[in-house]
């Protein structure tokens, strides 16, 4: 993977960790998810684009919160939706 960062990612100084290892929106509707991502603006944990509902990217679009972190145990990376930028930490 490339390590192409952006101003949004650089402005993240403390990584927000997931409060719970579940998608807040999938839980409400009884859906399933594949992987989890945590929004670095508001801290909500939602599901990835491999999940049927893609709640994390929907959240990024509707709120314009740009950066998510992987909430998967052992994964340490950030992704910015508007810039399609990725960085490990
Ligand atoms: Zn960015
Ligand atoms: Zn979800
Ligand atoms: Zn958010």
Å from CA of 52 to ligand 2 middle? 8
Does residue 76 have a pLDDT over 60? yes
Which ligand is nearest to the Cα of residue 84, counting in written order?
1
Residue 1 is predicted with a pLDDT of 46
Residues 31 and 14: their CA atoms lie apart, in Å, by: 30
pTM: 0.93
Residues in CB range of 65: below 8 A, 6 or more apart: 39, 40, 41, 42, 59
Å from CA of 66 to ligand 3 middle? 8
Length of the chain in terms of residues written = 89
Which ligand is nearest to the Cα of residue 64, counting in written order?
3
Does residue 2 have a pLDDT over 60? no
What are 17-61's pLDDT values in tens digits?
A: 999 999 999 999 999 999 999 999 999 999 999 999 999 999 999
């Amino acid at each position: 993977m490339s390590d192409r960062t952006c101003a949004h990612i650089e402005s993240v100084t403390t990584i927000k960790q997931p409060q719970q290892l579940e998608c807040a929106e999938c839980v409400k509707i009884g859906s399933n998810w594949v992987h989890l991502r945590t929004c670095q603006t508001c801290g909500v944990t939602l599901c990835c684009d491999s999940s049927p509902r893609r709640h994390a990217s929907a959240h990024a679009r509707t709120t314009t919160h740009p950066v998510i972190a992987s909430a998967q145990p052992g994964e340490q990376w950030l992704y910015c939706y508007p810039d399609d930028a990725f960085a490990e930490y």
